[in-house]
Amino acid sequence: MRFAVLGGDRRSALLCQMLHRDGHRVQSFALEGAELPEEIPRAGCLQGCVYGADCVILPTPAERGGLLNAPLSAETLRMKPLMEALWKGQIVIGGQFSDESSRAAIRGALLLEDLMERPDFVTGNAALTAEGALELLISGSERSLWGGSALVLGFGRVGKLLALRLRALGAEVAVAARRSADRALAGALGCRALRFDRLEGEIGDFDFIVNTVPARVLSEAALCCVSPEALLLELASPPGGFDRSLAENIGLQALAAPGLPGKSAPYAAALLMRQAVYDIIREQEE
């Protein structure tokens, strides 16, 4: 097959190499800052990259503010002309497409596949995120997870996997969740279950606080009650679960790590993407 890989980070660069080793023809665009073997052409323009491609692969997330997510490129490419440059019937794979891009794909008769709507990919991505979060917590604090106290904000896929891994490392774990069903499950798994609206009186007891919710769930009042020795870690995409500027202004240590698999485990993340790409192609053929 012929693949066009547009934008992205080291995950995309490694995916190019994996697809090439599998015997496919691969072209890249908006990846000029990546290390790629000479056998993988770097297209000089968008149209030249996508022309004749059976499958176009975009990053996860595919876009930021209406622009192609391309941190390894000086190229600034809006998603609207990008989608209009693709050809009818092309398979387009990426993550977290906007409604506007989805509508453009329908108008262009493209076969759009959002990786973040595939449970297998999302679960694998969550596992890599949880693993990377542990690395940041360990390296970012002088305290130990073993015997320490950790609060996980949110109990989705990442929250569940992270809470279980923290417990396995000997931390005392609490989970804050909106849904009563999630709090009940957290309690059944051996975690202390908390409500977001009652955190002010509890949050000062934690050494580690990790947010997994892409919405402001930690109030300014609760943030001001966090221990000065605590480490806050933001895993969610903007706006995030807490005001990071406020946290830093009041002397708290706050780290932001959205898109963590691309930083902590790019090779494993690329393998996950490759498997999802092959699964999508097989499903389309069936």
Asked if the structure places residue 282 within a domain, the reply is no
Q: Does residue 43 sit in helix, strand or coil?
A: coil
Judgement on whether residues 140 and 241 belong to the same structural domain of the protein:
yes
| Mean per-residue pLDDT, 99-103 | 96
Domain boundary among the residues 117, 139, 171 is at: 117
pLDDT at 237 over 90: no
Domain interval for residue 87:
2-117
Say if CB 87 and CB 65 are below 8 A apart.
no
pLDDT at 144: 97
Asked if the structure places residue 225 within a domain, the reply is yes
| CATH number of the structural domain spanning residue 170 | 3.40.50.720
pLDDT at 75 over 90: no
Judgement on whether residues 162 and 236 belong to the same structural domain of the protein:
yes
Asked if the structure places residue 270 within a domain, the reply is no
Strand partners, 75: none
pLDDT digits (tens, 9 = 90+) for 190-221: 999 999 999 999 999 999 999 999 999 999 99
Judgement on whether residues 143 and 32 belong to the same structural domain of the protein:
no
Q: Of 45, 39, 43, 44, nearest to 19 (Cα)?
A: 39
Which of left, alpha, beta for 24 (phi over 0: left; psi -120 to 50: alpha)?
beta
| Alpha-carbon separation of residue 50 from 5, 26, 76, 90 (angstroms) | 8, 10, 17, 9
Nearby residues of 274 by Cβ (< 8 Å), 6 or more positions away? 15, 18, 19
pLDDT at 258: 85
pLDDT at 238: 85
Judgement on whether residues 105 and 149 belong to the same structural domain of the protein:
no
Q: Quote the number of domains for the chain.
A: 2
Judgement on whether residues 208 and 193 belong to the same structural domain of the protein:
yes
Say if CB 60 and CB 40 are below 8 A apart.
no
| Mean per-residue pLDDT, 125-138 | 97
pLDDT at 259: 85
What is the chain's mean pLDDT, rounded?
A: 96
pLDDT at 286: 79
Judgement on whether residues 68 and 42 belong to the same structural domain of the protein:
yes
Asked if the structure places residue 269 within a domain, the reply is no
Pairing between β-strand 111-114 and β-strand 149-153 as defined by DSSP bridges: unpaired
- Dihedral of CA atoms 86, 87, 92, 95 in degrees, nearest 10, equals 30
Say if CB 258 and CB 266 are below 8 A apart.
no
pLDDT at 285: 87
Judgement on whether residues 91 and 37 belong to the same structural domain of the protein:
yes
Question: What is the reported pTM?
Answer: 0.91
